[in-house]
Structure 1
Amino acid sequence: MLTTLIYRSQLNSSCKSEQLDALIKHARQRNALMNITGIMLFNGLEILQVLEGAEESIVKLFHRIRDDRRHTDVVELMRDYGPRRRFENVGMFLFDLRIESPKAVLESVLRYSKLESYLASEDRVFKFIQSFITQKKTARAASALTADKWTLSKENAPFGERIEGLIANQSCQFALQPIVEPTQGKITSLEALIRGNDGGSPERFFQSIDQNKIYEIDLQTKAYAFALAEKLGIGGHKIAVNLLPMSLVNVPGAVEFLVDQIKRHGLQPEQVVIEVTENEMISGFNQFNSAIKQLRAEGIGLAIDDFGSGYAGLSLLTRFQPDKIKIDREIVSDIHLSGPKQAIVKSIVSCCTDMEISLVAEGIEKLEEWCWLESAGIRRFQGFLFARPQLNGVGDIHWPHII
């Protein structure tokens, strides 16, 4: 299968641009042996490269490129498949914007192409090339933070000791995981993640219960989360609980039950955030919207969890605006390496900034992910990098510090 891959990178400061000729010569010979066509554009600092060839060969070569220390900030922009090559010969060819004008380079690239000019003008690969030549902005965050300048230090969470044992007649447990603002050294809230009484996953817990009572049980379990918050003494911190959207629709008096349990356990409604996931289809939207209005009227906050992973993220935003959106971990995972993910997150940041909606990036496991997202304007984070969930308690926090 013919694969086309485009990546963007920067020439490492230790690698002089004059060395490019030798690099290109070596790459031409290597690529020819692998039956790969390579087109490289260089503007004195940044590189844009198009690779065409068999999928296995392209993937193997790209892994080598990522490990090549002559490059930094290697970001994949596109990976696609097609019936034929866009460019003539096998190997590598350099178009140097330091030597030729943008117009001349663009004309040279088109002459080098096998596509008719009218096809090239609509071709996605050529649009990437034209944007690079004309210096149109591609998805990139301002590199205010770089991972190699940061380290992490451990600190005990400012809450009570982990609770041993179960509350009477408790059908489930909760593991608490902090949501933090790393540069401020601040915990903004705690998410209560449901677990079975054996410590098992949410999926296993919900599979084990009567499916005819799933919404009723889902709602009732939130009382245990509020009780845990009371026992740990979370003070003025917020606590977030996940709720199936249809629990608010199918269980009579759902909002009243939540408010009663919140107050019973010494919390204020303003301390509680209800997280609804877009993974579940919402029927009876008018009833759901009515329940949301009741929640907001009581002072309870609302978040859309796993935003970008399910059915209705943008649709939900057009109908009501939550206090908070949590970007799904699949989108933020390795975002420092993915141009498409970067473009999507920059759009989400812009949208939420306009609507004054707080953003949380969840599933953060690498310093590189945090640095890119922080530079893109996100301030709140959740993930193993900073704190792992702890059953019936809050574990240690790991704060970033400049080396």
Structure 2
Amino acid sequence: MNVRKDSGGMGIIYFAWHGKAQERAEIKGLLKANWRRFAEKVLDESITVGLNRVSRMWMRDDLFVCFALPQERKDMQEERLLEIGNDLQLDWEPRFMDAAFGGRVPELRLHAGVSFLDGAIASEEERLYDGIKRAIVHGQSTGAAERSLKRRELEQILEERLIKPVYQPILALQQDGDTLYGYEALSRLPGSRWFDGPLGMFQFADQEGLTYALDRLAREKAIEGCTGLSNGRKLFINITAKIMNDSSFSPGQTLLLLQRYGLSPHHVVFEITERTSIEDFDAAKRILQHYRNQGYQIAIDDAGAGYSSLQSIVELKPDFIKIDRSLISGVHLDKMKAHLVQTFSDLAAKMDVKLIAEGIEEHEELRYIRDLGVQYAQGFLLGRPEPFGE
């Protein structure tokens, strides 16, 4: 591979097949017979659609492709290189499998890793060796290029505070007319390329060790966005159980932020999601007691859909239990769901805890849960999430 220094920058992409399927003799043989011919053919095609000054090198069955990047900012070059690597991996993997094996092969994946060739290294040989080594390291995990692109977007979201808060009304159910009790703050990602919604973003942040940073940003944006919250109205803010195990978690930051926007802890209910388990109830109770001492209230979210709803309710003694919409949807038609909601209602009454039914979408559901004694409700029937004041 002949590599020429270029003022626009040079990128290298490493391609290699990984997976236990290669231990099978027939798969290994078909890879050996077809992979190099396939890659050379599609590379020749790719040169005509935007890759400039392409050179290539094979190390056994591992392919290294080097090409020139256009002159632009370094961060844009990095993103372009990752996008090319990701696009080629997503294109080549199914095409090759269809051609060589007649379809997908379980436990066989094409890995792609990328790197820049460091212009500060004077020796062309050393420069190439360094780039190859870094590309191999980057490509060790499945979907490495896509993961890097997601990480870049998440870091941009955190740095530029790109989360947009919306608020879904929660109504107090009364026989003579329902009244507004408060709002649940939710996060939205306008224009996100790599995350199809906040759930996927939070799951990825968890994988990348950025749960606390993202949770804090969502909490701050929720508070900033509801300036003018009426006295007596409640703001329900989601927090994940995992952040209570984070050594950098500082409950006092929320209090300072509330004061800055003219709010107090008495406005806020923290919803602890039940979609992740609480590993240390003693630690969780200590942190929540710190909150309670300041005037906050606590809700268990997604009750009935998580790992340990009843244990969380018993251990944490929340002020509110939010019944997951999976139990509310069609509750008037499903006796088992009705029995479960009734059980939550009986338990809440004995513990002096308030119930909130989530996901109300039909008038029949609303009438039914009101008759069961559920005190509060939210859902599309009652109001969709909107920016505050709309």
Letter in 1 for 2:283: Q
Letter in 2 for 1:393: F
Aligned to 2:118: none
For residue 193 of structure 1, the aligned residue among 183, 186, 208 is 186
Alpha carbons 1:279, 1:311 under 8 Å: kept = yes
Say whether 1:292 aligns with 2:283: no
Aligned to 1:218: 215
What are the within-5 Å matches in structure 2 for residues 222-301 of structure 1?
222-230=219-227, 233-236=228-231, 237-301=233-297
| Shift in CA distance, 173/205, structure 1 to aligned 2, threshold 3 Å | farther
| Shift in CA distance, 205/394, structure 1 to aligned 2, threshold 3 Å | farther
Aligned to 2:166: 175
Alpha carbons 2:320, 2:356 under 8 Å: kept = yes
Look up the SS of the partner of 2:210 in the other structure. helix
Look up the SS of the partner of 1:192 in the other structure. strand
C-alpha distance in 1 between matches for 2:345 and 2:362: 20
What are the within-5 Å matches in structure 2 for residues 197-208 of structure 1?
197-198=190-191, 201-207=197-203
Which protein shows a greater Rg?
A: 2
Letter in 1 for 2:243: S
For residue 357 of structure 2, the aligned residue among 333, 357, 361 is 361
TM-superposed CA distance for 1:179, in Å, is 0.2
C-alpha distance in 2 between matches for 1:188 and 1:353: 19
Alpha carbons 1:248, 1:254 under 8 Å: kept = no
Residues 357-376 of structure 1: CA deviation (Å, up to 9, x unaligned): 01000100001111111111
C-alpha distance in 1 between matches for 2:213 and 2:247: 6
TM-superposed CA distance for 1:251, in Å, is 4.3
C-alpha distance in 1 between matches for 2:204 and 2:191: 12
Residues 368-401 of structure 1: CA deviation (Å, up to 9, x unaligned): 11111111111211001110111x2355xxxxxx
Residues 251-308 of structure 1: CA deviation (Å, up to 9, x unaligned): 4242111212122211110100100111101223322221111111111110001100
Alpha carbons 2:360, 2:380 under 8 Å: kept = yes
| Shift in CA distance, 207/343, structure 1 to aligned 2, threshold 3 Å | closer
Look up the SS of the partner of 1:280 in the other structure. coil
Alpha carbons 1:176, 1:394 under 8 Å: kept = no
Say whether 1:307 aligns with 2:303: yes
| Shift in CA distance, 207/282, structure 1 to aligned 2, threshold 3 Å | closer
- Between Structure 1 and Structure 2, the one with more strand by share is 1
Alpha carbons 2:234, 2:268 under 8 Å: kept = yes
Higher relative contact order, chain-length normalized (CA < 8 Å, sep 6+): 1
Residues 53-78 of structure 1: CA deviation (Å, up to 9, x unaligned): xxxxxxxxxxxxxxxxxxxxxxxxxx
Look up the SS of the partner of 1:212 in the other structure. coil
Look up the SS of the partner of 1:275 in the other structure. strand
Alpha carbons 1:171, 1:221 under 8 Å: kept = no
Aligned to 1:43: none
Aligned to 2:372: 376
Alpha carbons 2:329, 2:360 under 8 Å: kept = yes
Letter in 1 for 2:214: I
Same amino acid, percent of matched pairs: 29
Question: How high is the TM-score relative to the length of structure 2?
Answer: 0.55
Alpha carbons 2:165, 2:218 under 8 Å: kept = no
Alpha carbons 1:174, 1:194 under 8 Å: kept = yes
Letter in 2 for 1:220: L
Look up the SS of the partner of 1:302 in the other structure. strand
Look up the SS of the partner of 1:221 in the other structure. helix
C-alpha distance in 1 between matches for 2:262 and 2:189: 25
Letter in 1 for 2:182: S
Residues 84-125 of structure 1: CA deviation (Å, up to 9, x unaligned): xxxxxxxxxxxxxxxxxxxxxxxxxxxxxxxxxxxxxxxxxx
TM-superposed CA distance for 1:319, in Å, is 1.1
Alpha carbons 1:219, 1:254 under 8 Å: kept = no
Aligned residues: 227
Q: Any stretches of 5+ residues in structure 2 without a counterpart?
A: 1-156
C-alpha distance in 1 between matches for 2:344 and 2:261: 36
Say whether 1:393 aligns with 2:388: yes
| Shift in CA distance, 167/195, structure 1 to aligned 2, threshold 3 Å | same
Q: Any stretches of 5+ residues in structure 1 without a counterpart?
A: 1-165, 396-403
C-alpha distance in 2 between matches for 1:282 and 1:369: 31
C-alpha distance in 1 between matches for 2:238 and 2:320: 13
C-alpha distance in 2 between matches for 1:201 and 1:393: 20
Letter in 2 for 1:235: S
Letter in 2 for 1:380: Y
For residue 338 of structure 2, the aligned residue among 337, 342, 355 is 342
TM-superposed CA distance for 1:312, in Å, is 1.2
